[in-house]
Amino acid sequence: MATKLHSWFMNANVHSQADMRLFCFPYAGGGASIYRDWLQLLPKEIEVCPVQLPGRENRGLEAPMCSLPEIVQAVADEIGPLLNLPFALFGHSMGALLAYETARQLDRKYNKTPLHLFVSGHSAPHLPHSGRKLYSLSDQQLIHELRILRGTPEAILQNDELMVLLLPRLRADFQVCETYSFSPDKPIACPITALGGIEDHDVNMDNLAAWGELTQKETELQLLGGDHFFLHHEQERIVQLIKDRVRHANKKEYTWSGGQ
C-alpha cells in the first residue's frame, strides 16, 4: 500500500504529524511538480499532496488514463488511508473537474467531506461546453491548438522528441475533459472558492459563479491577474488565500502557527 500511495500522492505520509492535507490536482498535461513550490509556501501543519496521474514524470512509463470516472475511481480507491486527517482539495483547469468529482466520490465511498474545495480556471461543470474535440486532432493540428492556448513553451512545441512524449499525455487529458458528462447529484457539503484569470476569456465570472449551484455552503469568487495559466505567476496569492480559508474552515480543530 505504501508504494501505491507514494505513486499517486507525492509527499504523502500516512503517519504525518500535520493537522490537515491539501490534495492538488494538475491541469491537462501537467504533473505533480507544478505544485512543488507549495511545499515550501505552505506551513508544515498542512501536508501538501500533489496528485501524480499515470503517464507523467515518475510515472512516465505508465499509460495515461483517458476517462475522468476511471481516474476519480482510482484516486478514491487509493486515498482512503490518507483521510485520517481533515483535508481540502485544489485543482486547476482539468484538475478542477477532478477535484470536484473526487469530492463527490469521497462522500459516496467514505462519507467524507473536504473542509474546502478550491476550483481554479474552469467553468462550473454542469454548464454547456463547447463540444470541441481536441483529442481527435492530428498531431500538427493539436500542436497548433496548444500554441493558441499558450500553456506550453514554444521551445517545447518545436522539440520533436519532447512532443513525441508529451502529445499522448495531452491527448489523453483532453479526452478526459472533452468526454466528461455531468451527472446531477446532491450539492456537496463544503464551501467552494472559484478562481479565474482576468484575461482568461474562456472562463468568465458567470461561469465561475455557477459553481455556487453545486454546494450547500457558501461560494467565493476570486479573479487574479493573467490568462488561463495565472496559476503559475499568482501562486503566492493563491497559497495565501488557501491558508486563510482553510484556517477559517478548520478553526475548531486546527491550531495555526503562523507558517511562512
The three grid cell numbers given for residue 166, joined into one nine-digit string: 508529451
DSSP state of 199: T
Phi, psi of 24 (to 5 degrees): -120, 125
Determine contact, residues 222/200, Cβ cutoff 8 Å: no
H helices present in 179-250, as ranges: 205-209, 230-233, 235-249
Strand partners, 75: none
93 included as an active-site residue:
yes
CB hemisphere CA count around 34 (13 angstroms): 27
- Cα–Cα distance, 122 to 57 (Å, whole number): 24
Per-residue DSSP letters for 25-54? EPPTT--GGGGTTHHHHS-TTEEEEEB--T
Q: Of 93, 123, 181, 183, which one is the catalytic site residue?
A: 93
Return the active site residues.
Answer: 93
